[in-house]
Structure 1
Amino acid sequence: MTHPLPPPTAHIQIDHFSAVHLAAQTARSLAQQCSLPGALPEQAAVIAAELGSNLAKHATNGALFLQPLPLGDGVEILAVDRGPGMSELQRCLTDGYSTTSTLGIGLGAVSRIATHFTIRTETGTGTFACARLCPPGPETPDSQGVGAVCLPADGEETSGDACAIFDTPGGHTAIVIDGLGHGHPAAEAAQRALRSFSSMPDHPLPEILHNIHRALRRTRGAAVGLLRLHAGQAEYCGVGNIRTLTLASQQVHHRLTGQPGIVGLNIPTLQVRDIPLEPGATAVLHTDGIDHRWAQAPSPFLLRLPAPLLAGALAHGNRLTRDDATVLAATTPQRLP
């Protein structure tokens, strides 16, 4: 079965209070596009407005990322900034607490309205929050352990990158794609690759990659990274400059890139690499629009972030704006293969 293709992330820089209104409109429209029922689109607008107002009042270099959930049904709103952080987080989450002589209902309202709300802060570093709004019904297993952000280069309307993650037998299968260059030709290649992947995410990784290679023959081609996550181990197969890392015990462990080649033009004999994973380890895949130097000496605070916040933090703090940038983070599934 072919799965629906996720759109790029909407990125709203909160550099003025006027951006808060734009954030609310964008969240409402996104929730409607995702067919969230009843009052949920208005609730999405409230969440975006509250998080955006908080950034406008208190934060430095704040932004919102809005998108459909990377796994499961619903929408998510990520709020990211670069300081100053909250010294009394629990008090900030309490209704009536304010440092600016306002009603103080922002974060308290978000935590009540959202289906899931996660927030982390460090004084001097910044605050990262993820509010997810889901329709009634069963929750996708392990959906809270997945995060992704996909942004076009500055000045471009479409992203030449793409990513997706699906539940497959025993765990998850994820893909990150970087169409050569950027703009519409790169986006065409990335979307064709994504359509090919979405039709067969549970197949062996080399088979998936060969199928994508055939689908991209009349495009400019792409770099593609595939990762299949199980409890305790992962399989990796890739071609081109998609970086894959694993994080555990507050350290960066495996650092992998794809085999030389261009999917759609020329690919080598494909190899699958097995990666042992500690319980609770997080895998990160990203394109070269994310500065790879983030992994040289990451802070313990960054390494401890849950997957949705980690994706937002890397996109906000390490994005190279001249290129499309995509990062996908996923925590090892808890169930056995």
Structure 2
Amino acid sequence: MVVNQHTLFSIPDKSYASIAKREIRQMAEEAGFTAAEAGRLNIVVSEMTSNLAKHAADGGELLVRSLGHGIEVICLDNGPGMVDSLRMLEDGVSTYGSAGEGLGAIKRQSDVFDLYSQPGMGTVIVSQVHRAAKPALAPNAGSHNIGFVMVPKPNETLCGDGLCVVEKGAEVYLLAMDGLGHGANAHEAAQAAVQAYASALPQHPSDMLRNIHQQIRRTRGAVGMVVNVSGNSHKISYCGIGNIAGKLYSSDLSAAGSGYKNIISYNGIIGHNIPGSLNNQQLDWGRNKTLILHSDGLKSRWDLAKYPNLSRHLATTIAAVLYKEHRRHTDDTLVLVLKSKV
């Protein structure tokens, strides 16, 4: 599937909440929400913005995108965080002196819900509200959990990063792209690469990059990585060009001996100059494996081990935490996370 970018709504104080609600309501209408479904989404957004006003001195942000069958809303704040986030989901429990129903209401109205919070770090909430007439096979219903955030550079409307995810049974095909620069021309390059990729599946990663290289020669160029994940052979095969970076974590980070391997790319610019020889690299894949890819909108020095139990959360939550904590604020940002369920 060719996926939609997130729209960022900055909520520095409660006066900005009405603007976000209005635009998100418009997104729901475009997605075909009924009045009842739009009402559920409005409760989620209202409670999120209310929590930002109460608990985060500098407010926070909402990342919103259309899922086709629903709307995803991610709430980010740099507030004090929670010691016991599970207890905060119980109605009547509050650190603010309010009725303590906000988080519980968000969870009840969500078809997908996740929450990660640590004292001193702040909080990330992930909510998806689906239409009743959603696809028979919902996303991530297979053997993998896939999540991402993809956000334009501040003050830009189009994201210069691009992403394509195709899941076929135990096989997953991934493309992560970063058009050179930012803005409309970078977006054009990234989307041209995504379209070339989607129309040529399946291929070995190195062959796919050569094909994309030929297809986007008339654009400003891009960097990118192609990853084929096989749940049958328990291997991942990958090839990348440019500064799309990644790590493959090998176990639950709460366990002793957990570690990761860096995902390394070739030098070059897809669409302009690539190495004459491209080889696919392979790594083992299976239970408790987590693959994380990102563009250079994310700082390179991060480690999941610094976030207790984060690896147990949804892939989207992991991506959102890394985005919140390590984005550069000077470029488009893509963070893609793939977790094995089996």
* TM-score (normalised: structure 1): 0.89
Shift of 1:113: 0.9
- Equivalent position to 2:129, from 118, 133, 136: 133
SS of structure 2 residue aligned to 1:241: coil
SS of structure 2 residue aligned to 1:155: coil
Of the structure 1 ranges 148-157 and 177-186, higher mean CA displacement relative to structure 2 is found in 148-157
What 5-or-longer segments of structure 2 have no aligned partner? none
> In the alignment, does 2:68 pair up with 1:44?
no
Aligned residue pairs: how many? 329
Q: Is this contact kept in 2: 1:172–1:229, CA < 8 A? A: yes
Alpha carbons of structure 1 residues 38 and 280: separation in structure 2 relative to 1, 3 Å: farther
Q: Is this contact kept in 2: 1:60–1:81, CA < 8 A? A: no
Query: How far apart in 2 are the matches of 1:152 and 1:212?
Result: 22
SS of structure 2 residue aligned to 1:194: helix
- Equivalent position to 1:11, from 8, 30, 35: 8
- Equivalent position to 2:25, from 28, 35, 40: 28
Percent of residue pairs bearing the same amino acid type? 31
Alpha carbons of structure 1 residues 32 and 271: separation in structure 2 relative to 1, 3 Å: farther
Amino acid at match of 2:260: H
Deviations 1:284-327 (A, max 9, x none): 11001100011397343444443111111111111111111111
> In the alignment, does 2:244 pair up with 1:246?
no
Partner residue in 2 for 1:78 = 74
Alpha carbons of structure 1 residues 302 and 89: separation in structure 2 relative to 1, 3 Å: closer
Amino acid at match of 2:13: H
Q: Is this contact kept in 2: 1:63–1:79, CA < 8 A? A: yes
1:262-277 mapped onto 2 (5 Å cutoff):
262-268=269-275, 269-277=277-285
Shift of 1:333: 4.6
- Equivalent position to 1:261, from 257, 268, 280: 268
Query: How far apart in 2 are the matches of 1:25 and 1:206?
Result: 45
Q: Is this contact kept in 1: 2:6–2:63, CA < 8 A? A: yes
What 5-or-longer segments of structure 1 have no aligned partner? none
1:49-68 mapped onto 2 (5 Å cutoff):
49-61=46-58, 62-68=60-66
SS of structure 1 residue aligned to 2:45: helix
Amino acid at match of 1:22: I
Q: Is this contact kept in 1: 2:143–2:340, CA < 8 A? A: no
* TM-score (normalised: structure 2): 0.88
Query: How far apart in 2 are the matches of 1:73 and 1:162?
Result: 20
Query: How far apart in 1 are the matches of 2:173 and 2:57?
Result: 36
Alpha carbons of structure 1 residues 274 and 176: separation in structure 2 relative to 1, 3 Å: same
Q: Is this contact kept in 1: 2:180–2:186, CA < 8 A? A: yes
1:298-317 mapped onto 2 (5 Å cutoff):
298-317=306-325
Shift of 1:205: 2.3
Query: How far apart in 1 are the matches of 2:314 and 2:142?
Result: 12
Partner residue in 2 for 1:161 = 161
SS of structure 1 residue aligned to 2:218: coil
Of the structure 1 ranges 311-320 and 10-19, higher mean CA displacement relative to structure 2 is found in 10-19
**What is the RMSD of the two structures over their aligned residues, measured on CA atoms?**
2.3
